[in-house]
Structure 1
Amino acid sequence: MSDMQPRHAASSPRAVVFAAPVGVLVTALASLWALASPVQPLEAASLAPPAFAAVMELPAVVIASEPAADPCAAPVVTAALASGDDSAVIAGFGGADAFRAAVVAGAAPCISLSDPAHVWVVVNKARRLSPENYAPASLAGSGLTTTSRSGTARDDVAAALAGLAAAAADAGAGRIGVNNAYRSYGLQVRTYGQHVRDQGEARADTVSARPGHSEHQTGLAADIVACSPNCTDIHSFGGTPQSDWVAQHAWEHGFIVRYEDGHTAMTGYIAEPWHVRYVGKEIAAAYHAGGFHTLEEFFGLPAAPDYVE
């Protein structure tokens, strides 16, 4: 047996006091104070910690939050804007949902919904194109059957139209053609004027845009038709297998049906199931997932049922 004595330092009163939590120490001191008092009897109330215990509480830790970063200051965003790469701009914001949220909140000063060179431009009766005689930098044909002499669109839009029509045909929905896509300011003057002569101004304003207010002038919009086998006019498009397919799948190719039934109070136009508008795959996917029906709602803009000029 060893002649060394066991060490009890860990169980000594001194060690317990210094190792114990602050609350236990306060309670112990309070008990000693109560026992030392010859006046007060030992009651439960007298064992409560004295007032000085509050002084010994640890202060709350406050962590200051950093201000939200400005997406427009991100190098990837500035570089994408400079190069005209709209998909890269949206990615730089963190995706289409974050892009939309920043625009709606007014936290994206570098994004103009009035710039017709970008897929997010909003043109309506309250938002005139600027410049008035704007024309896309380049135009191309989609390769689809065209029923007018206005079958071209922006290069990316023309390619997307071809992809949409091919997907519809592959799905068994039938063949899709183009009635018209890009229309210049001058052509819109003639188009709108013809509607006014045929139907009067009030009716014309519900079916045709006044010059300078047409999405067709951006090169981002197209009126499509069903071709089964011959192509019909735009007014025969609704209710066809092609129309039903487009309503469900246009977003997969970067398009939305711009003027849906039941939303004239917002857009000022009657339902046009044939009028598709290219917004790019990112925005189209967010638009579809969010259950939106107009670009005005998507970007938090006011209704535009009437002209303000």
Structure 2
Amino acid sequence: MHVQPQPQHAAPRSPIRGPALPIGLAATAIGILLSLAGAPVATSVQTELALPQPLVVQEVPAVEVGATTAADPCAEPRVQQAISVADDAAIIAGFGGGESFRAAVVAGNAPCIALDDPAHVWVVVNKARPLDPIAFDPQSLADIPLQTTTESGQARSDVATAVAELADAAAAEGAGRIGANNGYRSYELQVATHDSHVRDSGQAGADASSARAGHSEHQTGLALDLVACDPACGDIESFGGAAQGEWVAANAWEYGFIVRYEQAGSGITGYKPEPWHLRYIGRELAAAYHQGGYHTLEQFFGLPAAPDYAH
């Protein structure tokens, strides 16, 4: 029988329309047909039919809640108003209190606050942070309303008021009478004071017990040395072991003071312990200092230790 050859370019057949089989059933049907036709069926299919895969959802890392920086407290109108009248207590209150103020300064989020400005209660002066200007002289001085044992009987007016309240409270609570040994000392007087320590103890000994001029808290008018006065006033070295010294160590913060040079902070400040040396930082900051368990202003404001002078 003669077989008529097919044309070389036959028109494509129309596709058969019908319901589409699922991919898995289609594969099974193909296998059955091949088997009936006697064609070998591979036991291991080299090319797998693409089957639908379950949808994989990748987890997006959570955004850390505290990743953003808080707004600048210095931009607050009440802070700007307090700055314009140089009201330290109002400035601190505008930040939200002593701890909020401290935290903003440590975080670098308080550009309007300068820790080297000796006109403010938050100034930090130490062996690495001299006063600016070096011969700074506070503008508002008043007589300390306590019995004094030297001619350095003045302090800033707010400090004088606060230490009078402290002494009255100590006496009322039975701790005894408190007097003052030293308050404000000028740059020139500090030169003479430190020089006398050098003569008595040598340079290293002097630097461990007396600040060089321009590096002294006494020069700011914010610091004073206390003495116990029952019945007569004693010297500063005996203050720490007296009832007055113990009361001051426990309660001075309530009146805006801290004991600036504690044993626990000697490695940071470079000074021997001075339980008689009080430094005024205001009630709000003193409360934050006390409640935070700090022992130096350097730790409180996140500053480097300063145990030695640069030269």
Smaller-chain TM-score bracket: 0.7 to 0.9
Give the corresponding residue for 1:241.
243
C-alpha displacement at 1:66, in angstroms?
Answer: 7.0
Give the corresponding residue for 1:92.
94
CA distance in 2, matches of 1:222, 1:275: 6
Give the corresponding residue for 2:307.
305
Give the corresponding residue for 1:182.
184
1:272 correspondence with 2:274: yes
Check the 8 A contact 2:264/2:295 in 1, yes or no. no
2:132 is matched by which residue type in structure 1? S
Q: What does 1:56-135 align with in structure 2 at a 5 Å threshold? A: 68-135=70-137
C-alpha displacement at 1:54, in angstroms?
Answer: 6.1
**Secondary structure, in 3 states, of the residue corresponding to 1:140?**
strand
C-alpha displacement at 1:38, in angstroms?
Answer: 11
Q: Which runs of 4+ in 1 moved over 3 A?
A: 37-40, 62-67
Q: Which has the higher helix share?
A: 1
CA distance in 1, matches of 2:69, 2:100: 16
**Secondary structure, in 3 states, of the residue corresponding to 1:200?**
helix
**Secondary structure, in 3 states, of the residue corresponding to 1:286?**
helix
Q: Report the number of matched residues.
A: 269
CA distance in 1, matches of 2:68, 2:150: 57
CA distance in 1, matches of 2:113, 2:136: 18
1:255 is matched by which residue type in structure 2? F
Structure showing greater Rg? 2
**Secondary structure, in 3 states, of the residue corresponding to 2:130?**
coil
Q: What does 1:249-260 align with in structure 2 at a 5 Å threshold? A: 249-260=251-262
CA distance in 2, matches of 1:68, 1:291: 25
1:50-83 per-position Cα deviation (integer Å, ceiling 9, x unaligned): 87x969x9xx9x9999752111111111111121
CA RMSD of the aligned region, Å? 2.7
Q: Unpaired runs of 5+ in structure 1?
A: 1-32, 41-49
Alignment partner of 2:160 out of 123, 139, 158:
158
1:15-44 per-position Cα deviation (integer Å, ceiling 9, x unaligned): xxxxxxxxxxxxxxxxxx99xx8999xxxx
1:98-122 per-position Cα deviation (integer Å, ceiling 9, x unaligned): 1111111111111100000000000
Taking structure 2 as the reference length, the TM-score comes to 0.79
Taking structure 1 as the reference length, the TM-score comes to 0.80
Q: Unpaired runs of 5+ in structure 2?
A: 1-20, 29-51
2:166 is matched by which residue type in structure 1? L
Instruction: Give aligned-pair identity as a percent.
Output: 63
CA distance in 2, matches of 1:238, 1:264: 16
**Secondary structure, in 3 states, of the residue corresponding to 1:178?**
strand
1:209 correspondence with 2:203: no
1:246–1:39 distance in 2 versus 1, CA, 3 Å: same
Give the corresponding residue for 1:224.
226
**Secondary structure, in 3 states, of the residue corresponding to 1:269?**
coil
